[in-house]
A and B are shown apart, each in its own frame.
Chain A
């Protein structure tokens, strides 16, 4: 089974062979603390460094390219905009905020928004 390894949280999610899955959706489903806010490519809170498996990801579309700019060339992807069809490893700064927010100004993430309890 292919797996997404969320290295910073040291957790992984497996999915069925032949499927393409949204990275942020899988993190939310498994309550993995990937920071995020808007889920629509606006804020950049969920930028992740692709450490391995970039070849399994779909190419960035307009919104993601516009939001990340040159960070795309540095190996970043937005979890909410990215689909994978195979093994991939991501890391991130657990304290990161949106690209337009200052650390500590309340623009933080929504991790753990609604646990299934």
Chain B
């Protein structure tokens, strides 16, 4: 065949094998490349101050993408991430501000509630056997509506507002702990960023080094093979959605610390943005392929484009365009990598 004679066939094949083995390599490359390009276009882009800022802006989406990654590895999808995070934080805020519940208890209840919402999704998907897309589209509406109803559409403020003179100071409030800043020279992060990094480290370990992690991949790869091998598929899928829900609860905590208030309509783009980050991070939409670090790179890429385009002074409309191109390229690359044969 003519194909055989092409001089770059061998290197291409090597590249394909390399990317097949190391799913985070592609996103890492894109991250470095785009960072360098923005540094060239706008010197100072990679200054520690700017990197600190990007990390802080990224923290919430970064946490959400951890849960989304595991769901997508099982060949599922979660359209309700953002809504679940918002409802979790509404519950934390209502309890701590309006009901005067101890902030640690409010935090725990909010996180547990995240897990319960995950249980609802997981139960409908694994037990009732409805498609993840439909279930989470449904719960997206449900959770959003409950969040709005609960708050009456109003934002709750911690400490800052005149009404809350009953002294909720940030030092004594566990819910605001994630907003605490830590500095090393000009590099400043919030504890929220550390929570995000902690989640990545923890779940990178869980996916790569525990039986549960292997089963997540196996179920996304070939459900029937996993079932015949003795994996309890339904409990596994349910547990993935519950774990994701708990992670969204922690993301709510990071969000509250970041802005010091609780609002029902912070950002409806979080739902899709988390999927964008995961896909750009090299996780296959069809399940079974991807790694946690890839998602971290994917989320960083989105943030780099976000901040970079703004700094360069490009119209904000180009961000979704850039993201769109990246998503399509990532999926095309995934197709090519999966077509590997010996």
A binds B: no
